[in-house]
Amino acid sequence: MTKFKLKIASRRSKLAMVQTLWVKEELEKNIPGLEVSIEAMATQGDKILDVALAKIGDKGLFTKELEAQMLIGHADIAVHSLKDLPTNLPDGLTLGCITKREDPSDALVVSKKNKNYQLESLPAGSIVGTSSLRRLAQLRYKFPYLDFKDIRGNVITRIEKLDSGKFDCIILAAAGLKRLGFESRIHQIIPNEVSLHAVGQGALGIECKSDDKEVLKIIKVLEDKTSSQRCLAERSFLRELEGGCQVPIGVNSKIQDDKIHLTGMVASIDGERLIKDESVGSIYSPEEVGKKLAEKLKLQGADKILLEIFEQFREK
């Protein structure tokens, strides 16, 4: 291959840079002669730290600035935590690659005084930190006696807030903790029966221009077929429900015998209503599996719950 230069747009947070550097190294390793550079920047979601994510109400909180760099020709690709990437992308851009997925589960991280407790045994009134409506709704449904507080900042900042005594425990993505070298802080992997994970959680999504065939060919070397099939089914489910990143929608997916088994959940923020169901279909049409599951949940009232949530935040 002739010498080719590729520029990556990335958030400048520690986790984003760890993920982006991995993509850079893997691309250069797999494609001789490729030179990859990184343009790091802060996104809206990185800058606004004193407001709960759900109240900002923007589906592109962590992606818009990166996408703008590609659209004006200042970057060739953008590396995202796939769970942060909206399901509807700007005209001219596409999700070109989904990488091999890390554990998509949520994880419990506790303060020293709570090291002898699991999530289900925490004393009533324990302060649990999370910025995710999805986690909040599911945990309120299971553990209404716990006290849930919003927590913002990157992974390291949240752990520092926990260790300072502001929280008894916090909930974070297991994948982020592992990638940052904090695997030892994972006190408990939260079972799917308690908290279904976010759509795309644990995978990286590489976005690029839809018509840039050479770049699409380059990034496909990092595509993981199984992870891609699962995540496409999950993203289709979310898209059909018209839910952004900050809504109480959770999923779990697995592949068995050329079939995708997709479980999905929609809950009210107060945790009093939770609708869950499953859809099974071919790995060769993952988006149909997601659509089918979304329709099943809509028939059970999921769209009514989501409309109430959108109205609630619109009023604020």
Catalytic residues: 84
Give the list of residues 6+ apart from residue 56 with CB closer than 8 angstroms, or none: 44, 45, 48, 246
- Asked if residues 49 and 187 have their Cβ atoms less than 8 Å apart, the reply is no
Give the Å distances, CA to CA, from 225 to 95, 97, 194, 286: 14, 10, 28, 11
How is residue 78 written in tokens? 């953008």
In 3D space, the residue among 51, 91, 87, 47 whose CA is nearest the CA of residue 67 turns out to be: 91
Strand (E) positions, 115-258? Answer: 127-129, 147-149, 169-173, 188-189, 204-209, 249-256
52 class by beta-carbon count within 10 Å (0-12 exposed, 13-18 middle, 19+ buried) = middle
